[in-house]
Amino acid sequence: MAEATAFYGRFAHTPSRGALEILDDTLLIIDSKGTITDVLSDSDVDFQKAFDQARASGELCQSGEKSLFLPGMVDLHVHAPQWPQLGRALHLPLDEWLNAYTFPLEAQFRNADLARSVYPDLVSTLLANGTTTAVYFSTIHMEASQVLAEVCRDAGQRAFVGKVVMDDPDQCPDYYRDSSTRQAIDETQGFIEFVRNLSGNDTDLVQPIVTPRFIPSCSHTALLELGRVADQMDCRVQTHCSEGDWEHQFVYERYGQSDTAALAELGLLQRGSVLAHCNFVSPTDMEIMKSALTGIAHCPISNAYFANSVFPLRRALDIGVSVGMGTDISGGPSPSIFENARFAIAASRMLEEGVDPEIASASRGHPDSRIDFREALWVATAGGAEVLDIPVGKFEKGRHFDAILVDHHAATDRAAFSNSTTSGEDFVQQTIYNVSQSDIRSVWVNGRLACNA
Ligand code: GUN
Ligand code: FE
C-alpha cells in the first residue's frame, strides 16, 4: 500500500454514541496536514471529478470486497515498561503484583538501553493492532521516558507520554522512587518542555501528560505541585482512580473523600485528562469528572484481574462522562483494543444479568447495564477522542485521518467471512467480534501510513 491522499470504498464509524454509520462507495480527501477535507458519496455532484483526479494522481487507496476502513483505535491507558511482562503474575492481587513484579521491572528502565530495546516493539505492535493513538505511562526515569517519546515520533503514532511520579517513601520502595519531591516536579516540567520541543514533532503528534502514578504513591505536596504544573503549563493529566477496593479505601482514609473528589481538589482534573479504571466511582464523582471535562479509561480485561468489580460503563455513558478504552498493559494481557471492546460488551452483559446462579434471576444483576457492539466501537474510537479532546475517531471533515483498513482476505479466509454478506451492520458486527492483528492490513495516522502488513 503506497502513501495516499484519497481513500475510497466502505467506511464504518460511530458519529454519536450508539449510532453506526456505514458509508459505501465514499471518497475521502486528505490534505497535506493529514486532515479530512471532503467526504463525498458517489451521488454528490463533485464526486466523479474528485475521484478521477485522485485515481490519476496514483494516490488513491481503495477498500475491496470484505474489507472496510474503520477509525483508528484509541488506547487511553498503556504502561509501556510493562510490555515484557504481558500476561505474567495475574493470579496476584494488585498490590502484590506491583511490589513483586511490576516495580522491579520498571526500575530496570534506569538503564535507557532497555527502553531502546523494548519500546519500539511495543509501539509497532500497538500500531499493528490498529491503535493510532496511545496514552502511555513510562517510568520515573527521564532518559527512558524521552526514548519513549522519540520512538512514538519515529513510528508515527499519535501519543501522550507521561514520566511517572512516585515520591512517597511510605508506599514506594527505595529502589524505585523519585529521589525527592522537588526533583519529581522539576523533572516533570523538564519532560513537558522536552516533548514540546522534540525535533520532528512539529504537528504535536507526541504530547506530554502529567502522570502521578496514583494517590497512594505520591506525597500530598507532589500531588498539589503537579496540579499546579498541569494548570500553568496547560497540560493534560493521567492517573489511576478508584481502581479496586484497596486503592479506593486508601484514598478515603487519607483524604476523607473519594479519589475523584480528592483529585479535583488537588487541581488534577484538567480538560482532556484521563482517569484509569474508576470502578468504584459514584454518580457524584461522575458529575465532578463531567464538569471538569476529564474522562475515564475503561480497562475491562485488566479490571477482571485487579479491580474487584465490573465498571458500570453504561451508567457512566448515560450520565454523560466521556469514556474511552484502555488495555492497561500489562494489568490487561492484550495489546488489542478490539479484544478489550469485545470484553467490555461481555462484562456489561454479566453486570446486567448477574453472575451467581444461586441468586434468583430477578435480583441477580443490574438492569440496563449492557452495551452493544456499536457502543463498544464508539468507546474504542470516538469516545477515546472525546476524552482527550482531539479531532480523531470519526470520518468527518476537519478531523485528522487516523484510520485502519481491515481486510478479511489478509488473514486466513475464515468461513465466517467467506460465507457472510458483504453489506450492512452484520458485517461490521462480525468484524468487531472477529478481527485480529492479521486482519489489519494498513494503519494511517494523520494521513500517513504508519503500518502496512
Ligand atoms: N495502580 C498503580 N499502578 C498500577 C499499575 O501499574 N497497573 C494497574 N492496573 N494499577 C495500578
Ligand atoms: Fe494502569
248 CB near ligand 1 (under 6 Å) = no
Taking the C-alpha atoms of residue 196 and residue 10, their distance in angstroms, rounded to an integer, is: 37
Q: How many CB atoms neighbour CB 57 within 10 A? A: 11
| Structural domain boundaries enclosing 317 | 73-388
Boundary-marking domain end, from 366, 388, 410? 388
Residue nearest to atom 11 of ligand 1 (CA): 240
388, 417, 443: which is the final residue of a domain?
Answer: 388
117 and 63: one domain?
no
Residue whose C-alpha cell reads 526515569 in the numeric block: 141
Using CA positions, which residue lies closest to atom 9 of ligand 1? Answer: 331
Regarding whether 159 and 40 lie in a shared domain, the answer is no
Instruction: State the DSSP code for 435.
Output: -
Q: Please check whether residues 54 and 167 belong to one and the same domain.
A: no
Ligand of minimum distance to the alpha carbon of 332: 1
The domain spanning residue 14 has which CATH number? 2.30.40.10
Same domain (yes/no): 65, 145 = no
**Closest residue by Cα to residue 122 from 166, 154, 163, 88:** 154
| Residues 118 and 131 both lie in one domain | yes
Please indicate, yes or no, whether residues 90 and 181 belong to a single structural domain of this protein.
yes
The per-residue pLDDT for 66 is 85
Query: Cβ(398)–Cβ(39) under 8 Å?
Result: no
- Could you say which ligand is closest to the alpha carbon of residue 328? 2
- Indicate whether 188 and 293 sit together in one domain: yes
Query: Cα(274) to centroid of ligand 1, in Å?
Result: 14
Domain match, 192 and 56 both: no
pLDDT tens, residue by residue, 380-405: 999 999 999 999 999 999 999 999 99
CB of 243 sitting under 6 A from ligand 1: yes
Looking at 347, 367, 388, the residue that finishes a domain is: 388
pLDDT tens track of the chain, all 453 residues? 556 799 999 999 999 999 999 999 999 999 999 999 999 999 999 999 999 999 999 899 999 888 999 999 999 999 999 999 999 999 999 999 999 999 999 999 999 999 999 999 999 999 999 999 999 999 999 999 999 999 999 999 999 999 999 999 999 999 999 999 999 999 999 999 999 999 999 899 999 999 999 999 999 999 999 999 999 999 999 999 999 999 999 999 999 999 999 999 999 999 999 999 999 999 999 999 999 999 999 999 999 999 999 999 999 999 999 999 999 999 999 999 999 999 999 999 999 999 999 999 999 999 999 999 999 999 999 999 999 999 999 999 999 999 999 998 765 556 566 555 656 899 999 999 999 999 999 999 999 999 998
**In this predicted structure, what is the pLDDT of residue 372?**
97
Helix residue ranges, H only, 233-381: 245-255, 259-265, 283-292, 300-306, 313-319, 337-353, 373-378
Å from CA of 377 to ligand 2 middle: 22
Count structural domains, the chain.
2
pTM, entire model: 0.98
Note the pLDDT tens digit of each residue in 38-66: 999 999 999 999 999 999 998 999 998 88
Same domain membership, residue 408 and residue 289: no
Q: Does 204 share its domain with 331?
A: yes
CA of 279 to the centre of ligand 1 (A): 13
137 and 22 belong to one structural domain: no
Q: Shortest CA distance to 299 belongs to which of 94, 32, 151?
A: 94
pLDDT at residue 399, rounded to an integer: 98
Q: Is the separation of the CB atoms in 206 and 224 below 8 Å? A: no
Q: What is the CATH number of the domain that holds 360?
A: 3.20.20.140
Cα 166 to ligand 2 centroid, rounded to whole Å = 14
pLDDT at 64: 87
Closest C-alpha residue for ligand 1 atom 7: 331
240 CB within 6 A, ligand 1: yes
b/e sequence 280-314, b meaning 16+ C-beta within 10 Å = bbeeebbebbeebbbbbbbbbbbbbbbbbebbbbb
CB atoms within 10 A of CB 399: 20
Find out whether the beta carbon of 441 lies less than 6 Å from any atom of ligand 1: no
Ligand 1 atom, smallest distance to 331 CA: 9
Cα 451 to ligand 2 centre (Å): 26
Polymer length of the chain: 453
